[in-house]
Amino acid sequence: LRCQAAPRPRACHGWQVSMKSGSLSYILPCNRLPVQLTSQVRVYTSNGQKKDLGSEDTNESARGETLHKVETGQDTANAGQKQSSPKQPIQVKVKAVLKKREYGPKYTQNNFITGVRAINEFCLKSSDLDQLRKIKRRSPHDDSETFTVYLRSDVEAKSLEVWGSPEALARERKRRKEAEIKYRENLFRNQRLLWEYKEFFGNTKPRSSTAAMFFKGPGKVVMVAICINGLNFFFKLLAWVYTGSASMFSEAIHSLADTCNQALLALGISQSARTPDPSHPYGFTNMRYIASLISGVGIFMMGAGLSWYHGIIGLLHPHPVESLLWAYCILAGSLVSEGATLLVAINEIRRSARAKGLSFYQYVVQSRDPSTNVVLLEDAAAVLSVAVAATCMGLTSLTGNPYYDSVGSLGVGTLLGTVSAFLIYTNTEALLGRSIEPEQLQRLTELLESDPVVRAIHDVKATDMGMSKVRFKAEVDFDGRVVTRSYLEKQDIEQLLQEIQQVKTLEELEAFMLKHGENIIDMLGAEVDRLEKDLKQRNPDVRHVDLEIL
């Protein structure tokens, strides 16, 4: 609302007159100003029609005049001079508004649907889709650039044409649902048949990738540890039966716990190699951490608990220890075998830590490879426990006091309890989803902020999903001007200018804006895909990227 009036010789204070025109109220700043008010609002619909909601011309002359005089130096000098104000109309600009289209709570007419969903949800055949309009859209998958979709409205119309009525379509959906439930009920039988076929064709099929995992890397370390700890358990058990030593019993239980836990680790490695499915879209890599966590609990319950129990029983009810010669021989062999397994685990961790650019300590504490960590800590505890057991047994042999042997059993149990507590803590942290290192997070953030289409990044989250797989999420404020310029750089500017010049009516303007607006949105989606691809290429650990548009 713009008001213009001729200059007045003296100030007019206050807002005196309230006027109302249509649904608009005006308060005029002077009680002596003759006003001519014109108010008109036009609403345009997409079909070019216009509606006058209200038009009113109002002429107001001065009435009920009350003038507030302000006595100042200038008012005293011009007290005798009075001038009447000329009539000046108030002009209101007319604003054309496009009528808002009401879509309702559910609007699916412009939705796209893939061929697989059209067949499954609307009970169609692939031949039924051949007659529908095919639309090429940007693919969300990395292995293809475009894929074919269909308009949902076309698919719904085709399904009604095929089945005749919505009731018939609903009956067919119900029938297929019942068939799916029946198939799931018979799933166990189907799996048994598949297992029998697998056994029959087992000798003719190549070696699976799961079996190959146990011939290199962490799988190889675990298999070597299973074999060595199994033999150690057998010989230590014979030594305990022969000597009755509490320390030897603790060593036998320790080896049995190690064997069982490493068998559990092997199961976790094999399960982690399973391919993702609809129920587990991010895969099964955390199975290694779950197996390591259960292994830590098993060491605490079976290894530390039984060692403490046997040590306490030996202190309460001591008994003489038989000849320890065979026990010393078995401990010496166990020391050599456990030391060999420990060296295998150390070499594997050094190689993996060097590949990740981490130190040996960082790699172990961060639990980058839980299976190898368990083997490393178990074998390190085994070597130390052999030394503790041999020392306490030697003191018992020299002094004849069986309490030293029981103290050795308590020491082995304490050592196993410490190892199990560390494994439980590190694997629990990994399963909870901890953040990546700040330096790596800073590199990812700087990579995004250095791109021209990005203005700012907010709410950045980068989670370590386990086994060097990172999930990155951020809210990105895109520069609309840069995105639009990228779109214009791929267009024929002269042709675009001709299209603009040909726009004469409201329908043509709407069609022009909808066409290029949709293309610009597609361009923004392509920029998001490009940023995600760059993040994955420059940071191989980043497997899943979620960029949300602000």
Return the domain boundaries, the chain.
112-198, 207-432, 438-549
Give the number of other Cβ atoms within 10 Å of residue 371's Cβ: 28
Tokens of 54: 């209200």
Q: Tell me, what amino acid is at 275?
A: T
What's the pLDDT band for 96 if we cut at 50, 70, 90? low
What is the longest distance spanned by two Cα atoms in the chain? 135
Give start and end residues of each alpha helix (H) in 186-286. 187-200, 209-212, 217-243, 246-272
Q: What is the predicted pLDDT for the residue at 69? A: 38
Q: What string of DSSP letters covers 52-64?
A: EEEEEEEEE---S
| Fold annotation for 438-549 | Alpha-Beta Plaits (3.30.70)
* 179 pLDDT higher than 50: yes
Q: What average pLDDT does the structure give for the chain? A: 77
Question: What is the C-alpha to C-alpha distance for residues 360 and 299, in angstroms, rounded to an integer?
Answer: 24
Question: What is the C-alpha to C-alpha distance for residues 432 and 153, in angstroms, rounded to an integer?
Answer: 44
Question: What is the C-alpha to C-alpha distance for residues 465 and 74, in angstroms, rounded to an integer?
Answer: 80
481-495 residue pLDDT tens:
999 999 999 899 899
Residues 6+ apart with CB under 8 A from 11: 70
Rounded (to 5) percent helix, strand, coil in the chain:
55, 15, 25
Residues 6+ apart with CB under 8 A from 318: 402, 403, 406
Residue that has been written with the tokens 């008010």 in this structure: 37
- Which one-letter DSSP state was computed for residue 277? B
Find out whether 298 and 257 touch, Cβ atoms under 8 Å.
Answer: yes
15-25 residue pLDDT tens:
444 444 444 44
- Mean pLDDT over 402-406 rounds to 84
This model's pTM is above 0.85 = no
Question: What is the C-alpha to C-alpha distance for residues 272 and 363, in angstroms, rounded to an integer?
Answer: 20
Length of the chain: 550
Residue that has been written with the tokens 């085994």 in this structure: 382
* 11 pLDDT higher than 70: no
Find out whether 181 and 174 touch, Cβ atoms under 8 Å.
Answer: no
* 290 pLDDT higher than 60: yes
- Mean pLDDT over 195-210 rounds to 53
Question: What is the C-alpha to C-alpha distance for residues 372 and 378, in angstroms, rounded to an integer?
Answer: 10
* 126 pLDDT higher than 50: yes
Q: Tell me, what amino acid is at 170?
A: A
- Which one-letter DSSP state was computed for residue 214? G
* 383 pLDDT higher than 60: yes
**CA atoms 327, 330, 332, 335: torsion sign:** negative
Q: 36 vs 222, which has greater pLDDT?
A: 222
322-346 residue pLDDT tens:
666 777 787 788 888 888 888 888 8
Q: 25 vs 380, which has greater pLDDT?
A: 380
What is the spatial order of strands in the sheet that 112-114 belongs to? Answer: 112-114, 146-151, 135-138
Q: What is the predicted pLDDT for the residue at 297? A: 86
Find out whether 300 and 478 touch, Cβ atoms under 8 Å.
Answer: no
Is residue 244 left, alpha or beta, with left meaning phi > 0 and alpha meaning psi from -120 to 50? left
Q: So what's the architecture of 207-432 in CATH?
A: Up-down Bundle (1.20)
Distance set, CA 340 to CA 222, 223, 346, 381, 544 (Å):
13, 13, 10, 13, 39
Find out whether 222 and 371 touch, Cβ atoms under 8 Å.
Answer: yes
- Which one-letter DSSP state was computed for residue 90? B
Is residue 210 left, alpha or beta, with left meaning phi > 0 and alpha meaning psi from -120 to 50? alpha
Question: Percentage of the chain surpassing pLDDT 70?
Answer: 77
- Mean pLDDT over 361-372 rounds to 79
Tokens of 334: 């166990």
